[in-house]
Amino acid sequence: MTDLLKQIIIYYLTAVNLLAFALSGLDKRAALKRRRRIPEARLLFLAAAGGGIGLFLSMEFFRHKTQKTAFRIGVPLIITAQFLLLAAFLYLRYYT
């Protein structure tokens, strides 16, 4: 893997995690002010797209979506699946 590709991946993951964190905070604010909300599917999509850690941290930080099963169980499962895929990729790359 080239250094440029590694940098692109790092920048992408940083951006998607910051976006997930920020959107969750904006959704919490919208909920408190009874304004238009961000769809749950969009937040979960961001988690699946690599922003799971940002979304998980925002759930704890903002105390938001912590009672929803899709978030309480789904986000940690998404993060676990992504780490397992990364481990499998690294294993296959270096040991086969």
- Tell me what pLDDT residue 1 has: 72
Per residue in 49-81, is it b (16+ CB within 10 Å) or e — as a string? bbbbbbbbebbeebebbeeeeebeebbeebbee
φ/ψ region of 45 (left if φ > 0, alpha if ψ in -120 to 50, else beta) reads: alpha
Q: In tens digits, what is the pLDDT along the chain, a chain of 96 residues?
A: 789 999 999 999 999 999 999 999 999 999 999 999 999 999 999 999 999 999 999 999 999 999 999 999 999 999 999 999 999 999 998 887
Domain definitions of the chain by residue range: 3-95
- Tell me what pLDDT residue 28 has: 97
Q: Which residue has the tokens 């086969």?
A: 96
- Strand boundaries in the chain, DSSP class E: none
- Tell me what pLDDT residue 2 has: 86
What's the whole-model pTM score? Answer: 0.90
Confirm if 20 and 51 have CB atoms less than 8 A apart: yes
- Tell me what pLDDT residue 96 has: 78
